[in-house]
Amino acid sequence: MSKSNHWTSLIGDLPDSYRETLLGASLSRQFARLPLWLSHPSNIGGFYGLLIAIALLLPYRFGLENSDGWFADWTLHCALLVIACFFLGICSTLITAISGRFPVAPARLILYPMPFIGLALLSIDRTDIVSIYPFISWTLIMLPGPLYVHLSWAPRWRLLCMLDDGKNPFEGVNLGFEGRDEFEQSSMDTEIESVIDDFESSEE
């Protein structure tokens, strides 16, 4: 059995509260299925930049401004988007490693529609229907991906790496379960330590 399969079974043996912190919502769970080297925050950021660049094909192709050189403009902006999102992912990884903070759930109702709104505004601006200040469109397009990576995925990836290395990422950390008594919290800590020990022994 591969190491990734061991890692998956390890997650399944954890208490629900820890598993929810490690895996998060549906989007993070999809990224968690990938190998850790592939799901690095910089790669996830670069992937977001690539998706946005692909979505910009139609506005650039059919926009009235510089229609003759649209492909050269799109290629340049595509490269800049991917590189910028990749670099921001690296910055988020470093900041998270230094701060050691835990993941925060972003406001999905606000964050998820933002790139679609930004793309619509950019399309309107490039077809000269209404003149819209470009900063607004590009902010709405660019912000959601790097913000999600910084708030949610980079801290979660750090915890998964610690768990994969046989470390307890929740040691000495209170996840907000103030209502639990000391015996119950101690039992949860003992359980995760035993799971990690089983994982280490299976790797030998």
189 found inside a domain: no
- pLDDT level of residue 17 (50, 70, 90 thresholds): confident
Q: Which candidate, 51, 112, 105, places its Cα nearest to that of 82?
A: 51
What is the span of the domain harbouring residue 139? 3-7+22-164
Residue 176 included in any domain:
no
Query: Residue 115: what pLDDT?
Result: 92
The Cβ of residue 78 has, within 10 Å, a number of other Cβ atoms equal to 18
Has residue 1 got a pLDDT over 80? no
Total structural domains in the chain?
A: 1
Q: pLDDT tens across 38-87, in order?
A: 999 999 999 999 999 998 888 888 765 656 678 888 899 889 999 999 99
102 part of a folded domain:
yes
- Give the chain as a DSSP string: --HHHHHHHHHHTS-HHHHHHHH-SHHHHHHHTS-TTTT-HHHHHHHHHHHHHHHTHHHHHH-STT-TTHHHHHHHHHHHHHHHHHHHHHHHHHHHHHH-PPP----HHHHTTHHHHHHHHHHHHHTTSS---HHHHHHHHHSHHHHHIIIIIHHHHHHHHHHHTT--TTTT---S-TTS-HHHHHHHHHHHHHHHHHHHHHH-
pLDDT, one tens digit per residue, over 122-165 is: 888 877 777 778 888 889 999 999 999 999 999 999 988 888 77
Q: Is residue 48 part of a domain?
A: yes
In a domain, 196, yes or no: no
Q: Please check whether residue 152 lies inside any domain of the structure.
A: yes
Q: Looking at the domain assignment, is residue 173 inside a domain?
A: no
